[in-house]
């Protein structure tokens, strides 16, 4: 299927425990994630009437609830490359939110059209990609007005491609990227694509280090606003 991840190598298609959590989040039955709340608090007030928002790497689509809970109702779109998660968003989030299921799309970030959304949200996605540059360039070019990112950012590039011991039994050989990217380099790309960049303190970690599947992550948030 075009734009879909290979299920034999996709950790998000082989983790029943996390999938069950995604289902509860999609139904708005789980505790709100700190990062989702912060995404809505930062980006929501900047969004004008009728503006569109793409949640890139949307998973089960639950970030929508954090925006709506705070009174922000942009024209919402989601994109993910895991068919099971797109199906989850279509089945659980779309009817509850009054959206057409097609608002949650199966596809790759790299295939986004330029200037296709007013706002782009991408949290905790590029860290698990082979490298940030190509997908981030595409996200920047897709964003007409602003972009909000949360990724593991540090002083230098650290690439980790390791088996995940928390996947389903029989699937723990699947390797996952847990990369940390040079913050200055990421900001430089954003600026080169025409964005003014603001660093925002990550509320969950206090700009510290968080262990995720036993691997250190340095979560940082960047707001990019397109220069006029």
Residue 1 has pLDDT above 80, yes or no: no
Does residue 2 register a pLDDT over 60?
no
Residue 78 lies in a domain: yes
Is the residue at 5 inside a domain? no
pLDDT band at 228 (very low <50, low <70, confident <90, very high): confident
Reported as a single tens digit per residue, the pLDDT across 134-163 is 999 999 999 999 999 999 999 999 999 999
User: Is 3 inside any structural domain?
Assistant: no
pLDDT number for residue 136? 99
Through-space distance between the first and last CA atoms of the chain, rounded to whole angstroms: 38
133 CB-contact burial (10 Å; exposed 0-12 / middle 13-18 / buried 19+): middle
Cα–Cα distance measured from residue 76 to residue 59, given in angstroms and rounded to the nearest whole number: 14
* Per-residue b or e along 11-35, where b marks 16 or more CB atoms closer than 10 Å to that residue's CB: bbbbbeebbeebbebbbbeeeebeb
Measuring CA to CA, how many Å separate 62 from each of 12, 67, 151?
15, 10, 18
The yes-or-no verdict on residue 177 having pLDDT over 80 is yes
Is the CB of residue 150 less than 8 Å from the CB of residue 219?
yes
Q: Quote the Cα angle for 150-144-53, to 5°.
A: 55
Question: Is residue 1 in some structural domain?
Answer: no
Q: Please compute the mean of the pLDDT values over residues 93-103 and round it to a whole number.
A: 99
Task: Give the chain's mean pLDDT.
Answer: 97
Indicate whether 163 belongs to any domain: yes
Could you read off the pLDDT of 106-142 as tens digits, one per residue? 999 999 999 999 999 999 999 999 999 999 999 999 9
Identify the bridge partners of residue 104 per DSSP, sorted by sequence position: 78
- Euclidean distance between CA atoms 185 and 178, whole angstroms: 18
Overall average pLDDT of the 2-15 stretch: 88
Only one residue has tokens 């595409």, namely: 138
Q: What is the count of structural domains for the chain?
A: 1
Asked whether residue 178 carries a pLDDT value surpassing 70, the answer given is yes
Q: Which domain holds residue 36?
A: 11-226
Q: Is residue 125 part of a domain?
A: yes
User: Residue 35 pLDDT more than 70?
Assistant: yes
Predicted local distance difference test score (pLDDT) of residue 3: 76
Hey, what are 166's tokens?
């928390």
pLDDT at site 5: 87
Residue 163: which CATH number?
A: 3.40.50.150
Give the rounded distance of the alpha carbon of 26 from its chain centre. Answer: 15
- The pLDDT of residue 198 is 99
- The arithmetic mean of pLDDT across residues 57-83, rounded, is 98
What average pLDDT score do residues 209-221 get? Answer: 98
User: Cβ contacts of residue 116 below 8 Å, gap of 6+?
Assistant: 54, 142, 144
User: Which tokens hold the place of 157?
Assistant: 């590039």
Tokens at 202, concatenated: 């990550």
Output the pTM of the full model: 0.97
Does 207 map to a domain? Answer: yes
| 4: in domain | no
């Amino acid at each position: 299927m075009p734009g879909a991840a290979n299920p034999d190598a996709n950790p998000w298609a082989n983790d029943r425990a996390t999938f069950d959590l995604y289902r509860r989040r999609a139904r708005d039955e789980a505790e709100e994630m700190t990062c989702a709340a912060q995404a809505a608090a930062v980006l929501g007030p900047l969004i004008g009437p009728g503006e569109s928002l793409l949640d890139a790497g949307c998973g089960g689509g639950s970030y929508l609830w954090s925006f709506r809970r705070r009174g922000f109702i942009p024209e919402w779109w989601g994109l993910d490359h895991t068919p099971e998660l797109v199906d989850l968003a279509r089945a659980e989030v779309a009817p509850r939110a009054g959206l057409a299921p097609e608002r949650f799309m199966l596809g790759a970030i790299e295939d986004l059209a330029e200037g296709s959304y007013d706002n782009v949200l991408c949290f905790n996605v590029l860290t698990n990609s082979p490298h940030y540059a190509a997908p981030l360039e595409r996200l920047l070019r897709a964003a007409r007005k602003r972009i909000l990112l949360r990724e593991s950012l540090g002083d230098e590039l650290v690439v980790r491609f390791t088996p995940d011991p928390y996947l389903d039994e029989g699937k723990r050989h699947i390797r996952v990227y847990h990369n940390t990217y040079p913050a200055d380099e990421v900001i430089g790309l954003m600026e080169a694509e025409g964005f003014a960049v603001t660093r925002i303190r990550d509320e969950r970690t206090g700009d510290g280090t968080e262990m995720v599947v036993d691997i250190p992550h340095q979560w940082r948030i960047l707001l990019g606003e397109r220069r006029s």
